[in-house]
Amino acid sequence: MFISSAYAQSAPAASSATDLSSSLTGMLPLVLMFVVLYFVMIRPQMKRQKEHKTMIEALDRGDEVSTAGGFVGRISSLEDNYVKLEISKGVEIQLQRSAISQVLPKGTLKSI
């Protein structure tokens, strides 16, 4: 019923070289998935964040912008973290700089 200790100890030991190569082969798909994930998702997202940051820093008074909330208007004044946006004649809203999603070409807004 029980295995004698002499019989259990006589099993051949695997070599360490085959253990190392099998563990590296087992980790290869995980490493490849991380590399693909980096180039497909992480790197482009970092590039978009960098472009958005430079766009936010380059904002100037008079720029025509579109916000993440769908407002379109002209920048009337700038502060460190906030922007006053004129969305109609005499109507200004204050919002965070990070809420601006894109700068529109000059002359896009004719009615303001």
What's the pLDDT tens digit per position in 66-95?
999 999 999 999 999 999 999 999 999 999
Scan for tokens 């008079």, then name that residue: 62
More confident: 111 or 8: 111
| Burial status of residue 103 (CB atoms within 10 A of its CB: 0-12, 13-18, 19 or more) | middle
More confident: 12 or 108: 108
Could you state, in order of their start, the residue ranges of all structural domains in the chain? 15-55, 60-103
What's the whole-model pTM score? 0.68
86, 92 Cβ separation under 8 angstroms: yes
Architecture of domain 60-103: Roll (2.30)
The confidence score (pLDDT) of residue 23 equals 79
